[in-house]
């Protein structure tokens, strides 16, 4: 154990040697695995039933959609990893630590809110909390910002996998975000921190812990907090959180901004999670309400225009209307836009227009296909996100057959059932356990193109 680390916590939190040792010993304890159920796609009871049939037992936590998960040994069944289940593939659940799901839980007052808010997630990657925001605020427009562009790949993958269609991604630093004054209804700042929580993976991770590094990162956190506060509307709420336990990155960040901008906000809730008490990784959350505007040095507004995002031409609208009629897809609740030649759709409930002229998005929300050679070419997502009535369905018969397809094996299935029905459509929607899994396209030579994203294949 790094003596600088243990001495700091002894001096500031555990004068009693026995309690200090209980805390330090808890760092080596293996924590229970937890999953967050994506209730926008499946009910808690239905997932519990599905997982029980695969010998998984779910037990409650203090969050109603987050559960401890354990696997009972069943000698009669082949061992199956949690990440290879169909339920994980369809993102009915997300493997997420209890502490990591707490920020959004407290920001949303642990209830689903269908009010169309404008929400900022200031440091979004890898997307655990961003997709949780989408679940708790399904009718809101969520700006997911990631400072480090190299971390956006994982963020994009998680957003797409969890079917989070109301999230758009930006890549700004804290200075620019601070210029977007009094704009957002909700702000989530899960701040970059000194990563003390990695001590749970190995105590070696704490080897280089020292106060100098902690103080350095706390200076960045103060700037982020102030920037987020300025971008928040008056009377609305921000949640600040870290995965550390020292005071420099937690209470003292909050107190610094409170002293710099007196009476600008009130603390609604504040809690630090201790591993030996709360049986979770260490974590800190602070929820505030903004009471008045603040003087912010970079409060100048900058108008930006997403020049590549355009309205459809009449010709393109006609193409999309014809496609919708042909396949019985109703786009009435969506605004259709074009990004290059990609078609993207936005739920009309989402307050996109409030922010579209002030932020440049490099990754757009719900893409459904492209217009190429005078026709609309759908992608995988439209078949996943919409139940298409007017194309043939193929029911995958067994778990083994599903596994073959998910490994991108050659598909030798006899397609005579399509010829026999004289189907004129080019597409077949694959169904397993009454769930749309993915799409085939059948060529004139009766070969199959699988539209399932290759990055999601099983290994």
Q: What is the CATH number of the domain that holds 347?
A: 3.10.450.220
- The verdict on 65 and 108 lying in the same domain is no
Last residue of a domain, one of 52, 77, 95: 95
- The verdict on 62 and 173 lying in the same domain is no
- The verdict on 331 and 377 lying in the same domain is yes
**Which residue is associated with the tokens 């009454």?**
434
- The verdict on 237 and 126 lying in the same domain is yes
- The verdict on 239 and 350 lying in the same domain is no
Catalytic choice (133, 243, 345, 371): 243
Mean pLDDT for the chain? 82
Q: Could you tell me if residue 177 is inside a domain?
A: yes
Instruction: Using CB atoms within 10 Å of the CB of residue 351, give its burial: 0 to 12 exposed, 13 to 18 middle, 19+ buried.
Output: middle
What's the mean pLDDT in 430-435?
70
User: What tens digit of pLDDT does each residue of 148-179 get?
Assistant: 888 888 888 888 777 788 999 988 888 888 88
- The verdict on 139 and 223 lying in the same domain is yes
Lowest mean pLDDT among 4-13, 77-86, 154-163, 400-409: 400-409
Q: Could you tell me if residue 301 is inside a domain?
A: no
Tell me whether residue 243 is one of the annotated catalytic residues: yes
Q: Could you tell me if residue 297 is inside a domain?
A: no
Q: How far is it, in rounded angstroms, from Cα 109 to Cα 359? A: 28
Q: Could you tell me if residue 14 is inside a domain?
A: no
- The verdict on 48 and 193 lying in the same domain is no
- The verdict on 313 and 434 lying in the same domain is no
pLDDT of 277 higher than 60: yes
Last residue of a domain, one of 43, 68, 95: 95
Instruction: Report the domain count for the chain.
Output: 4
Range of the domain at 378: 309-384
Q: Could you tell me if residue 28 is inside a domain?
A: no
Q: Could you tell me if residue 395 is inside a domain?
A: yes
User: What tens digit of pLDDT does each residue of 394-428 get?
Assistant: 777 777 777 766 665 545 455 555 554 444 456 67
Q: Could you tell me if residue 408 is inside a domain?
A: yes
Output 65 or 395, whichever has higher pLDDT: 65
Task: Indicate which CATH number applies to the domain containing 171.
Answer: 3.40.50.150
Last residue of a domain, one of 345, 367, 384: 384
User: What tens digit of pLDDT does each residue of 341-368 get?
Assistant: 789 988 888 888 888 878 888 776 788 8
Q: Could you tell me if residue 380 is inside a domain?
A: yes
At 112, give phi and psi (nearest 5°).
-70, 130
Q: Give the torsion sign (CA, 248, 252, 253, 257).
A: negative
Output 403 or 13, whichever has higher pLDDT: 13
- The verdict on 191 and 323 lying in the same domain is no
Is the distance from CB of 391 to CB of 442 less than 8 angstroms? Answer: no
pLDDT at res. 297: 75
Q: What is the pTM of this model?
A: 0.86
What's the mean pLDDT in 95-121?
91
- The verdict on 254 and 366 lying in the same domain is no
- The verdict on 156 and 259 lying in the same domain is yes
Per-residue CA distances from 20 to 11, 202, 205 (Å): 10, 18, 19
């Amino acid at each position: 154990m790094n003596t600088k680390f243990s001495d700091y916590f002894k001096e500031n939190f555990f004068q009693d040697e026995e309690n200090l040792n209980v805390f330090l010993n808890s760092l080596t304890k293996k924590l229970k695995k937890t999953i967050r159920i994506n209730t926008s796609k499946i009910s808690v009871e239905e997932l519990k039933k599905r997982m029980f049939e695969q010998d998984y037992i779910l037990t409650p936590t203090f969050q109603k959609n987050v559960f401890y998960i354990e696997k009972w040994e069943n000698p009669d069944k082949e061992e199956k990893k949690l990440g290879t289940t169909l339920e994980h593939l369809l993102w009915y659940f997300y493997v997420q630590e209890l502490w990591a799901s707490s920020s959004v839980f407290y920001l949303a007052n642990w209830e689903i809110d269908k009010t169309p808010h404008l929400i900022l997630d200031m440091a979004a990657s890898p997307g655990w909390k961003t997709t949780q925001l989408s679940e708790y605020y399904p009718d809101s427009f969520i700006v997911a910002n990631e400072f480090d562009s190299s971390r956006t790949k994982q963020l994009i993958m998680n957003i797409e996998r969890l079917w989070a269609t109301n999230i758009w991604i930006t890549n700004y630093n804290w200075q620019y975000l601070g210029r977007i004054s009094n704009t957002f209804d909700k702000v989530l700042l899960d701040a970059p921190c000194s990563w003390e929580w990695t001590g749970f993976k190995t105590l070696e991770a704490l080897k280089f812990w020292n106060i100098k590094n902690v103080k350095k990162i706390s200076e960045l956190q103060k700037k982020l907090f102030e920037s987020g506060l300025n971008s928040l509307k008056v009377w609305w709420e921000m949640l600040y959180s870290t995965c550390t336990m020292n005071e420099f990155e937690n209470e003292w960040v909050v107190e610094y901004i409170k002293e710099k901008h007196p009476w600008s906000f009130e603390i609604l809730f504040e809690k630090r999670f201790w591993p030996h008490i709360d049986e979770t990784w260490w974590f800190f959350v602070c929820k505030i309400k903004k009471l008045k505007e603040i003087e912010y040095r970079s409060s100048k507004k900058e108008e930006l225009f997403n020049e590549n995002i355009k309205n459809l031409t009449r010709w393109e609208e006609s193409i999309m209307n014809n496609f919708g009629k042909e396949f019985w897809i109703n786009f009435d609740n969506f605004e259709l836009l074009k990004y290059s030649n990609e078609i993207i759709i936005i739920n009309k409930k989402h307050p996109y227009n409030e922010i579209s002229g002030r932020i440049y998005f490099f990754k757009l929300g719900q893409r459904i296909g492209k217009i190429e050679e005078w026709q609309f070419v759908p992608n995988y997502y439209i078949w996943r996100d919409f139940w298409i009535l007017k194309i043939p369905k193929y029911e995958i018969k067994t778990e083994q057959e599903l596994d073959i397809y998910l490994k991108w094996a050659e598909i030798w299935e006899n397609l005579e059932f399509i010829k026999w029905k004289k189907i004129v459509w080019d597409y077949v929607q694959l169904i397993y356990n009454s769930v749309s899994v993915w799409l085939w396209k059948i060529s004139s030579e009766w070969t199959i193109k699988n539209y399932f994203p290759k990055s999601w294949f099983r290994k």
